[in-house]
A and B are shown apart, each in its own frame.
Chain A
C-alpha cells in the first residue's frame, strides 16, 4: 500500500536538526519522531544518520532495539493492553482475549480500516487498579470487557 511509504520528511528533519547537539541526541530524536508521527519510518533512518554523523547501522540498531519505536504507521487509535503479572492476576488474560476478538486482530496488528492498532505492554504502573489498558492515550484502570466495549463503541461511532 502506497500510504505505508508516505512519511513526513520535514518533521523528521526539523526534529533531528533541533536536537542534534543534545548529549546522546539519538534517543531524544527518535522519541520525538515516534511521538509526533506515531512511528519511525525506516526511510528516516538515513536522514537522521546523516544529521548526527552516525552510520545508518547505528541508527537502525537503536531504532529497532526499543519496543516503543514502531516501524509501521499505526492505526488512528492505539490500544495497549498490559500483559504483566499483576494484570494477569486480575483476569487480564481473559480481557486480552476479549479485546482481540472484538477488534478481530492480534497483538502487534492493525485493523484493515486502519482505525485500531493493538499493542502489548508490560506494566503501566497502575497495578493497584489492575487490569489496566490504554485506549487512545487514556489510561483505564480495573478494565473489564464491558468497560472496554463501552469505550470501544464510543470510539467506533456507528461503524458496526
Chain B
C-alpha cells in the first residue's frame, strides 16, 4: 500500500519552495522504487515551518519542516515514510502546541484534507450543514445563523443573521449572494487559506445562504493577487456542480444555486461592499451611499447577501452543529472563533483560530514567539492598514470587537502585524495617509483630499516645519475624515495615524505624554 505524503500547495508554502520539494520527493521515491502517494493539501498555517510536509503513519500524521531541496534525500535515508527520526522532525502534527491549543472550527479541515477531493470533504463532515439546511425552512436557517451570534469577519462585524433575514424577507424575482474575497488588508491571509485549502466549505456556506434566502446566483469577488485561489475555486466549483451540490435542483431540493468567480483588478476599495458591487456591475469601484443597504438593493439593484469568505465558511459548522454550539465560544457580543493572522516581525507567524477573548499578548508572544530577529517589540498594528497601532504596554487587550474598540482600535479582519524597535511610527502614519490617497475611490472629499493633505502635514511634522501647528491641524483633519467620510477607508485611516501620534509622540518629534 502506498504511503501518503502531504505537501502543501498553499501559495505561502509554494513561495517557500513547496513545488520543488514535491518534485524532489516524487523523484526520489521513484528512484528508490517506493510507493508514495503525494497529496497536495492546504497549509496548516504554521508558516515559519513551511514547506512543512506530513506523512500518514499507522499512528497518525507526523510532520517535518521546514524542508529545503537539500533535505529530501536525508529524509528518505532517515525513513521518514514510517515516521523516522530526522533533525527536521516535528512529531505528531496534532501535538504541535501551536496547533493543539487552537480552536479550529472554520479551519477544521484546512491542511488536513485534499482541497480538491470532494470525497475527502464529505468524509470530514462536509455538506452536513447543507443537508440540514435543506431540511429546514429559510426562516429557520436564518434563525440558526442569528442565534449563533456570527458577525461579519471581513471587518465591520455586522451580525450575519440580520443581513440574511433582510434579504430573505425582501420580495424579488432575483436575489444574489456575493462573497467578498477581496482580502486586501496587509497582515491577512485567512481568506486565501480557506479558498486554497478548503474551498468546498466556502461553496457550501454560499449555497446555504442562497438556498435559504432565495438567491439563485452567487459571485465570489476574488482579488487578482490570488491566482492559486482562483484555480482552486474554479476546480472546486466544477466538482461541486458535477455532484449536484451546485446547479439546478441542488440535492433534489427543487432549488437552484450557481457560483461564479469574478476577479478584481487591484483596487483596495473594492473590499468595501458597495464598491465591490459596483465593480461586479462592471463599473469603477465607487462607494455607494447607504441606504439602501445591499440586503435590500445590492447587485444590479437586487437583494444581495454580501459576506466575507470567513463568515460564509463558518456557516456550514453552524448549521451542522447548531447556533448554540457556535455561540458557546467567545465572549461578550463576540461569539464563536476568529482566525487571527500573525504577521510581520514574528518568530512564528501564521494562522491561529481561537475563540474571541484571547489577548493580543498571548497571540503575539505565546503563539508568535516575539520578534523574529529578537529585538524588542515596539508596536503592533491590529486590523489591517486601517487599524490602530498598539504599544507593548497595551497588549493585554482581549481580542473581541468591543474590547478592541474600547482601546481605540478595530479588530478588522483579524490581521496582526508586529514591528520591532526600529520602526518609525511617524513614517507609518505617513504611509497610512499615502495608502489612503492611493486607494481612495474619490467619491467623498474628506478621503480624496484629506489623505493627500494628511500626507503633506506629516511631511511637515517629520521635516520639523511648523511642527506643533501641523500636528494640531492633523488632529483636526483626522477628526473631519473620521466623521465625514463616506466609508471606512477615509473614516478609519485616522486610526493608525492618531494611535501612532498618541502612543509614540517622540517619533513625530513631539513631546506629548505617551500612554
A residues whose Cβ falls under 8 Å from a Cβ of B: 23-28, 30-31, 34, 61-62, 65-69, 82, 84-90, 121-130, 132, 137, 139-142
Quick check: is B284 within 8 A (CB to CB) of the other chain?
yes
Contact A66 B285 (CB under 8 A): yes
Quick check: is B303 within 8 A (CB to CB) of the other chain?
no
In the bound complex, residues from chain B placing their C-beta under 8 Å from that of A62 are 282-284
Query: How far in angstroms is the closest Cβ of chain B from A12?
Result: 16
Contact B341 A84 (CB under 8 A): no
Bound form: Cα–Cα A28–B285 in Å: 14
Contact B350 A127 (CB under 8 A): no
In the bound complex, residues from chain B placing their C-beta under 8 Å from that of A127 are 186-189, 341, 343-344, 349, 415, 417
Quick check: is B423 within 8 A (CB to CB) of the other chain?
yes
Bound form: Cα–Cα A61–B12 in Å: 34
A68-B266, A127-B188, A129-B12 known; A24 and B280 CB under 8 Å?
A: yes
Count of residues in B whose CB is under 8 Å from the partner chain = 61
Contact of A90 among B189, B192, B345, B439 (CB under 8 A): B345
Q: List 12 A-B contacts (CB under 8 A).
A: A23-B282, A25-B282, A27-B265, A30-B265, A66-B285, A68-B265, A85-B417, A86-B344, A124-B225, A126-B15, A127-B188, A128-B350
Q: Which 4 A-B pairs have the closest CB atoms?
A: A141-B15, A84-B186, A128-B47, A66-B265
Contact B282 A84 (CB under 8 A): no
Quick check: is B497 within 8 A (CB to CB) of the other chain?
no
A23-B300, A34-B265 known; A129 and B349 CB under 8 Å?
A: yes
Quick check: is B67 within 8 A (CB to CB) of the other chain?
no
Contact A129 B186 (CB under 8 A): no
In the bound complex, residues from chain B placing their C-beta under 8 Å from that of A128 are 12, 45, 47-48, 189, 341-343, 349-351
In the bound complex, residues from chain B placing their C-beta under 8 Å from that of A82 are 186
Query: How far in angstroms is the closest Cβ of chain A from B219?
Result: 9
Bound form: Cα–Cα A26–B284 in Å: 10
Quick check: is B183 within 8 A (CB to CB) of the other chain?
yes
Bound form: Cα–Cα A130–B349 in Å: 9
Residues of B10-68 contacting chain A, CB below 8 A: 11-12, 14-16, 45, 47-48, 50
Quick check: is B226 within 8 A (CB to CB) of the other chain?
yes
In the bound complex, residues from chain B placing their C-beta under 8 Å from that of A137 are 227
Contact of A89 among B45, B280, B423, B438 (CB under 8 A): B423
Contact B15 A129 (CB under 8 A): yes
Residues of B376-405 contacting chain A, CB below 8 A: 381, 385
In the bound complex, residues from chain A placing their C-beta under 8 Å from that of B76 are none
Query: How far in angstroms is the closest Cβ of chain B from A21?
Result: 12
Contact A27 B279 (CB under 8 A): yes
Quick check: is B480 within 8 A (CB to CB) of the other chain?
no
In the bound complex, residues from chain B placing their C-beta under 8 Å from that of A142 are 15-16
Contact A86 B186 (CB under 8 A): yes
In the bound complex, residues from chain A placing their C-beta under 8 Å from that of B281 are 23-24
Bound form: Cα–Cα A129–B418 in Å: 13
